[in-house]
Structure 1
Amino acid sequence: MDFKMKEEEGFTTTTEFGELHVAGDEQFGYRPYQLMVASIAVCSGGVLRKILKKKRIDIEDIAISSNVERNEEKANRIEKIHIHYKIKGQNLNEKKIHQSIVLANKNCPMAQSVAGSIEIEETFELL
């Protein structure tokens, strides 16, 4: 990816999907920590979705929420991300879902890229 400096603040890049604006100020683009959290949460959710499909666990929907703990004393770095899945479907087995989430974490490239430096906690509820 190539990034170009914007006049106001931040940087921009163009991808196949469109233009992405990144800046330290939300007025000018996505903040870098937002992109990191989104990458980890959505990657984990996408891998989970594929695993559930392979296991023939029929789901109607997955909603993901995330909470972030940052350390102001250490450059405001991300210390922990809590990912919570709300999984909607019929006759869902809690144990199989839990096993699938553990497997998804092990196979998510974004989660594995930060393993050992950012704690990722995952919880879920069945709807």
Structure 2
Amino acid sequence: MKFEMKEVGFKTNVEYGELHVSGNEEYGFRPYQLMVASIAVCSGGVLRTILTKKKMVIEDLSFSTEVVRNEKEANRIEKIHIHYSIKGQDLDPTQVEKAIHLASKNCPMAQSVKGSIEIVETFELV
């Protein structure tokens, strides 16, 4: 990726389009937002694949995140809580929990920050 400086922030072109990154939300995505989104969406995507391979019928999968940052240490991300809401047919909570655990082991983004950012995953069946 090649980044070019803008008046406030930077931009790059990727296959999907132009990405603007800035410390100010008025001019682009903030770096921490991209990091949290990368980890959460990667985890959610791997989870979806695992649930599908286990022949679980998933009608909807959404998730929310809560982020804990440490202002005393450059406002670093210390913890990301991902909460999945899963809608499907005849879902077994034990099997879903196992799938979430397996997904966290197979998500490249989560594994990239292992040991530096705590990732907690919870779920509800709706």
Shift of 1:42: 0.2
Where does 1:1-127 land on structure 2 (aligned, <5 Å)? Answer: 1-7=1-7, 9-127=8-126
Q: Which secondary structure does the structure 1 equivalent of 2:40 belong to?
A: helix
AA partner of residue 58 (structure 1): V
Deviation at residue 87 of structure 1 after TM alignment = 0.1
Q: Residues of 2 paired with 1:19 and 1:108: CA distance? A: 25
In 1, Cα distance between the equivalents of 2:32 and 2:23?
A: 9
Task: Calculate the aligned-residue CA RMSD, in Å.
Answer: 0.4
Flag as ranges the 4+ runs of structure 1 deviating above 3 A: none
Find the aligned partners of 1:20 and 1:68 in 2 and give their Cα distance.
22
Conserved 8 A contact 2:68-2:78: yes
- What per-residue deviation string (whole Å, max 9, x for no partner) do you get for residues 13-58 of structure 1? 0001000000000011000000000000000000000001111111
Give how far 1:90 is off.
1.2
* Secondary structure, aligned partner of 2:49: helix
Q: Deviations over 1:77-113 (max 9, x none)?
A: 0000000000001110000000000000000000000
**Alpha-carbon distance in structure 2 between the residues aligned to 1:18 and 1:64:** 25
In structure 2, runs of 5+ residues without a counterpart are none
* TM-score computed with the length of structure 2 as normaliser: 0.99
Q: Percent identity?
A: 68
Q: Structure 1: where are the runs of 5+ without partners?
A: none
